[in-house]
């Protein structure tokens, strides 16, 4: 496991994943997401029903 990164994102919800996605599209290649469980499985996932309404 690496012990450093250019960018460390805490939380793998919609904002964390989107931030990582956009940073890598901009050329950042040393991005790490810390999430306690599966990506997008936290509170963002539980509120996802409101997004499509």
Q: What is the pLDDT of residues 25-47, one digit of tens each?
A: 999 999 999 988 887 777 665 66
pLDDT of the residue at 50: 53
pLDDT of the residue at 15: 87
Rounded distance between C-alpha atoms, residue 10 and residue 34, angstroms: 5
pLDDT of the residue at 45: 58
Helix (H, G, I), strand (E, B), or coil: what is residue 46?
A: helix
Rounded distance between C-alpha atoms, residue 40 and residue 53, angstroms: 19
Query: Where are the domains positioned within the chain?
Result: 7-42
Would you say residue 13 has pLDDT above 50? yes
The more confident residue out of 11 and 1 is 11
- What ranges make up the beta strands (E) of 1-53? 7-10, 31-34
pLDDT of the residue at 53: 47
47 backbone dihedrals φ, ψ, rounded to 5°: -100, 5
Whole-structure pTM value = 0.71
């Amino acid at each position: 496991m690496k012990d450093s990164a250019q960018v460390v994102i805490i939380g793998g919800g919609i904002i964390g994943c989107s931030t990582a996605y956009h940073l890598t599209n901009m050329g950042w290649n040393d991005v790490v997401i810390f999430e306690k469980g599966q990506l997008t499985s936290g509170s963002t996932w539980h509120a996802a029903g409101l997004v499509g309404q």
